[in-house]
Structure 1
Amino acid sequence: MSTGVALLNFGEPERPTRETVVDYLERIFYANADIEGETTEAEARERSRQLAQRRAPALIEEYEEIGGSPLQSHADAQATLLERELRDRGYDVTTYVGMQFTEPFIEDAVERARSDGVEQLVGLPIYPLCGPSTTVAALEELTDAIEAAEWDVDVSELTGWHRHPGYTRARADNVRSFVETQGLSLEGDARLVFSAHGTPQYYLDEGSRYVEYVEEYCEALAAQLGVDEYELGYQNHENRDVDWTEPSIERVIETVDADRVVVEPVSFVHEQSETLSELDVELREEALEAGLDFYRVPVPYDDEQFIDALADLIEPFTGGFEPGYYNLRQCQCRDAPGAFCLNSPRTR
């Protein structure tokens, strides 16, 4: 049976023109309009446009500083490597990249898969730590796109997968390799700092377990690295007057008791503006002002172990065996038939 794997992602403009950046931001703000309370569709769209126009100049400056976002090229590379690995395992698989907020959109990925005549489709959001505005929203868009296309296809979904041991091992090995290359140690006068993408408190109040996932993942990663003491901060985007996750990564850097910090961006599986600008430029400046030497671990987006872990997640569906054999169970964050994750508790 031929299988299409839709790799779902956030997206970022590769070329920072004002039009593309404003459109990109407007889509994001509109998709998350609920966090500001009830409103009409027209009011939400107008508010989103205003926020986008206000935020755009600073974001364009960030993109220009880093030479545009490499997220798309990294996502394409991951898709190619994953398809190759699954084919090497003997499966008839084609991968498709679909973005929530930039082209190619998720609906474009669905259309390409349909045109290719795949017999089953697997949706895999490339967000290891499951959140409502990322993982869940991307899969909802996938469902909407399939229904809009009136496509009768067998669909499976994968949500939270940060507990995959191969993925955790890949990130730990990547940190270890970076530290050794830089001639550093994670003991003594250096402090390991995990930086996670923040989320509005609204989603946590609504029941999202995102912070729990972040905290348990950081604990496991630190344990694999043999680190007892570490810090965790959140990269918050406070463009609206709403509460976000605490502590912020800036607050952590201001208060950390060390001579140097090694920052591991745990939420990210591509280099993008949040790593290349927010961390490498803005947070570096904060660290230097606080008298700290600053080191940021590169994202292992094309690491062989990482690609192997993604292939493992897909394999039960391409191989036609029970997902539970790989500890995939019915997702609780995405309560829909055929949605599986590694986070759900085992039931008898």
Structure 2
Amino acid sequence: MKVAVMLLNFGEPEHPDEEEVVPFLERIFLMNGELEGRLGHDKAVARAHELAVARAPGLIEEYREIGGSPLHRQAEEQAVALDAELTRRGLDARCYVGMQFTEPFIHDAVARARADGCDTVIGLPVYPLCGTSTTVMSLGTLADAMQQAGWEAPRLEISGWHRHPAYTALRADGIRRILEQSGESFDNGCRLVFSAHGIPLKYLREGNRYDAYVEESCRAIADAVGVDDYVVGFQNHTNRPIEWTSPDIDEVIENIDAESVVVFPVSFMHEQSETLAELDHELREVAERRGLRFHRVPVPHDDARFIGVLADLVQSRLGLERTITLGPCTCRPDAATHCTNHVLRN
């Protein structure tokens, strides 16, 4: 058995150029077009272009501020590291990066894996929390790409995996490190603020449990640090006239009773525009206007322990070593799809 591990990601433009950013946004808005109802293909394409052109100038400016997105580079580094770790564990596996909205696309990764002679495919979205437009759609895109290519290799999928205990411990260590470096204390005017990527309420009403996973993961990480008092906010992208998760992260910081804040990006396993621009620049400005000291926990994208978490998931999905329990996924009810969230905890 030669396994292709597909590390599925959102993707972001590496350069702050209109030629890259507008098509990137068009793909996103078209993929999620039904949020505004069924428009028909031509109208959906036109609406996606309209939204992309309106959003592009602000996003281009964000990419200029951060020197372009490092997401692609970090994703490729994760693939190399996971490839080496799986080989160390005795697996005949190769890792491929497939992006939802930028090159290399998921269908590109499928073509490469097939050409390399892989005979089993594992889809592993690098999103700890299972959301509709991220985890669920990326796995659907992988299944479609294999079908369109006529590739009938066995396909195994892993959706949400935030319950892996080593993942929780790793993220808690990031908070402890910030406290040590800054001299802050949650017992002395400092508050812990979790910032999660927002999601349209339509997806939650349709059955996705992303909001419950956010709260569960935040509670587990806070418990690991020994913190009872924390706040959760959402980074919402309100480009369309639709309802999003609340409270908005800006509102949380504008109203929080604290002298300083430690902000934790709970939805991301790469540094990208949502962390480097939206948090480090925009949210920091909101905090500092209020006189708050602002600290942001880095994403441990290159931590060897995180690569170990991904390797554990692959081994468990293959049934080779039950280091973490996986079961049938509720958010993506496909026989191929397993996750750590098959039983929702109270």
* TM-score, normalisation: structure 1: 0.97
SS in 1 for 2:68: coil
Report the counterpart of residue 328 of structure 1 in structure 2: 326
Quote the offset at 1:317 in angstroms.
4.2
Confirm whether residue 120 of structure 1 aligns to residue 128 of structure 2. no
Please say if residues 201 and 244 of structure 1, whose CA atoms lie closer than 8 Å, have aligned partners that are also in contact: yes
Q: Residue 11 of structure 2 corresponds to which residue in structure 1?
A: 11
Residue 289 of structure 1 aligns with which residue?
A: 289
Q: Which amino acid aligns with 2:324?
A: Y
Query: Aligned letter for 1:119?
Result: D
CA–CA distance in structure 2, aligned partners of residues 220 and 163 of structure 1: 8
Q: Report the equivalent of 1:152.
A: 152
Deviation string, structure 1 residues 43-91 (Cα, Å, up to 9, x no partner): 1110000000011011101100110000001111111111111111111
Contact 1:233 1:252 in 2 (8 A): yes
Q: Distance in 2 between matches of 1:253 and 1:113?
A: 45
Distance 2:110 2:186 in 1: 44
Instruction: After TM superposition, give the deviation of residue 216 of structure 1 in Å.
Output: 0.7
Shift of 1:175: 1.5
Count of residues in correspondence between the two structures: 344
Superimposed CA distance per residue, residues 194-250 of structure 1 (whole angstroms, 9 cap, x where no aligned partner): 000000111111111100000011011100000010110000000111111000000
Written as runs of structure 1 = structure 2, the 5 A alignment for 1:211-250 is 211-250=211-250
- Name the CA distance, whole Å, in 2 between partners of 1:305 and 1:32: 34
Work out whether residues 186 and 192 of structure 2, in 8 Å CA contact, stay in contact via their aligned partners in 1: yes
Distance (whole Å) between structure 1 residues aligned to residue 47 and residue 331 of structure 2: 28
**3-state SS, counterpart of residue 301 of structure 1:** coil
Displacement after TM superposition at 1:153 (Å): 0.4
Instruction: Give % identity.
Output: 55
Match of 1:97 in 2: 97
In 1, the alpha carbon distance for the partners of 2:187 and 2:139 equals 41
> Is 1:198 the equivalent of 2:198?
yes
For residues 295 and 236 of structure 1, the distance between their equivalents in structure 2, rounded to whole angstroms, comes to 21
The answer to whether 1:39 aligns with 2:42 is no
- Contact preservation (8 Å) 2:83, 2:93: yes
- Measure, in 2, the Cα distance between the counterparts of 1:316 and 1:265: 27
Report matched runs for 1:286-325 at 5 Å.
Answer: 286-318=286-318, 320-321=319-320
How much does 1:274 deviate?
0.3
* Cα distance in structure 1, aligned partners of 2:2 and 2:222: 39
Runs of 4+ in 1 over 6 A off after TM superposition: none
Q: Does 1:64 align with 2:64?
A: yes
C-alpha separation in 1, matches of 2:152 and 2:129: 30
Distance, in Å, in 2 between the alignment partners of 1:224 and 1:345 is: 21
Residue 25 of structure 2 is aligned to residue 25 of structure 1 = yes
Q: SS at the partner of 1:326?
A: coil
Counterpart CA distance in 1 for 2:177 and 2:87 is: 29
Distance 2:55 2:132 in 1: 23
Q: Is the 8 A contact 2:190 2:258 kept in 1?
A: yes
Counterpart contact for 2:193–2:262, Cα < 8 Å = yes
Amino acid at match of 1:52: A
TM-score, length-normalised on structure 2? 0.97
Is residue 124–residue 159 contact of structure 1 (8 Å, CA) maintained in 2?
Answer: yes
What amino acid sits opposite 1:334 in the alignment? Answer: R
* Separation (CA, whole Å) in 1 of partners of 2:112 and 2:268: 26
Answer yes or no: is the 8 Å Cα contact 1:121–1:155 preserved in 2: yes
Amino acid aligned to 1:5: V
For 2:242, what is the secondary structure of its paired residue? coil
Residue of 312, 318, 338 corresponding to 1:340: 338
Matched residue, 1:254: 254
Deviation at 1:315, TM superposition (A): 0.7
Write the mapping of 1:143-182 to structure 2, written as runs, cut at 5 A: 143-182=143-182
CA distance in 1 between counterparts of 2:310 and 2:294 reads 31
Instruction: Indicate conservation of the 8 Å contact 1:187/1:227, yes or no.
Output: no
For 1:251-302, what per-residue CA distance to the aligned partner results, in whole angstroms no more than 9, with x for missing partners? Answer: 0001110000000000010000000000000000000111211111111001
Q: Is the 8 A contact 2:262 2:294 kept in 1?
A: yes
The CA distance in 2 between the partners of 1:292 and 1:144, in whole Å, is 48
Match of 1:276 in 2: 276
Equivalent position amino acid for 2:230 in 1: Y
2:130 is equivalent to residue 135 of structure 1: no
Structure-2 separation of matches of 1:248 and 1:52: 22
TM-aligned CA deviation for residue 186 of structure 1: 2.4
Report if the CA contact (8 A) 1:14-1:70 is conserved: yes
**Contact 2:238 2:244 (C-alpha < 8 Å) held by counterparts:** yes
Cα deviation for residue 322 of structure 1 reads: 7.6
1:182 is displaced (CA, Å) by: 2.0
Paired AA for residue 335 in structure 1: P
The code of the aligned residue for 2:305 comes to: Q
Deviation, 1:173, is 1.0
RMSD: 1.2
Which residue type is aligned with residue 11 of structure 2?
A: G
Cα deviation, residue 321, structure 1: 3.6
Residue by residue, what CA displacement relative to the aligned partner does 1:5-25 show, whole Å, maximum 9, x if unpaired? 000000000011101100000
Aligned to 1:265: 265
